[in-house]
Amino acid sequence: MPIQVLKPKFHVDECLDAVRECLEKGWTGMGFKTVEFEEAWKNYTGHKHAIFLNSNTVGLHLAVKVLKDQYAWSDGDEIISTPITFVSTNLAIEYENLQPVFADVDEFLCIDPADLEKKISSKTRAVIFVGYGGRVGQLDKVAAICKKHGLKLILDAAHMSGTKVNGVIPGTWDGIDVAVYSFQAVKNLATGDSGMICWADEEAGRITRKLSWCGISKDTYSRSNKGTYAWKYDVDYVGYKYNGNAIMAAIALTQLKYLDEENERRREIVRKYNEGFRRNKKITIVPAPYENECSYHLYELIVPDRESLLNKLSEQGINCGVHYRDNTEYKVFSYGEGQAPKAHEISQHLITMPLHMWLTDEDVEKIIQAVNREV
């Protein structure tokens, strides 16, 4: 069996027990386990307002929409984002007829605060910061810049489940308006597809909950326990069917118990990789600030000839990956070509090494030796 680049580890028996509970109860939709998981997530992270959704993508859409409505932004207003991310980050801006403007990245592959400040215009309303691979980057400086210029700050925390800074989850920092997590199939906290949106502002959270459930004023679970008036709800907003369900929440609740110890194993593998690649002059390791608390969803190297290395490693049973193409290479964002030259250049040379719970120390050693042989 080749070594995979990403492979989730499910605690199968425990997950099945939790799912069985949903099936036996006859409740697989929103409510019951989704409420339990929201409480568990708030407890784990320190976020005050958390709404379980069917993905991070829909969470980013709601983050942008709620802020646009609350602050009366106009179509065509700008949100500064990164070009090296999964396309959802930037699509979320487009869903609301706003314009992504691309800032360049720093050594951590996160938005570079110096370039961010240069990209601010009279139309800028917000920043979406992606914690790339779980890295917190210079989020503190970005938050200070947003405060200074009166911009809203959305944290795309798709990779950041479990990342901490001095024991604190960075999404809860002062100055971050909303953080959106992903529990998609290969994330550190894997389900099938689901996500969580966490607001600092209670009112934004209240509106988001309604918007995520077709704009309906009462949820089905509480209605099911209220006898004959279950059908008597209003529709307050033109909402969406974005809610998460009990099956995903049951899996998430189980996986959450193991998140910290699994992230610790990720860091152990990263330390071995860092030591193994440190002396190779042709390889640049992508660093992480607070590396002893980073979730390390992804471990990347910057190498001279990425395509050739991918092929050579694949021939040796080691499947690496590429995350992500510069989004301005996609037709819908091609207007942004040249806005972030450093990100563009780095994105041609980035390769993602295998990093997951199924890797043995022998696998890691084999990967280090193979890479050093080929680069």
Residue ranges binding ligand PLP (CB under 6 A): 55-57, 85-86, 88-89, 130, 156, 158-159, 182, 184, 195
Using the minimum distance from each CB to ligand PLP, give the nearer residue, 88 or 254: 88
Q: Provide the minimum distance between the beta carbon of 322 and ligand PLP in the complex, in angstroms, as a whole number.
A: 13
Which C-beta is closer to ligand PLP: that of 88 or that of 188? 88
Shortest Cβ 89–ligand PLP spacing (Å): 5
Q: CB of 243: closest distance to ligand PLP in angstroms?
A: 14
Q: What are phi and psi of 111, to 5 degrees?
A: -55, 135
Which residue, 130 or 340, is less far from ligand PLP as judged by CB? 130
Query: Quick one: 109 or 370, whose CB is closer to ligand PLP?
Result: 109
The least CB distance from residue 100 to ligand PLP, in Å, is: 13
We find the least distance from the C-beta atom of residue 360 to ligand PLP, in angstroms, to be: 26
When the beta carbons of 58 and 200 are compared against ligand PLP, the nearer one is: 58
CB of 152 to ligand PLP, least distance (A): 18
Residue number with CB closer to ligand PLP (110 or 375): 110
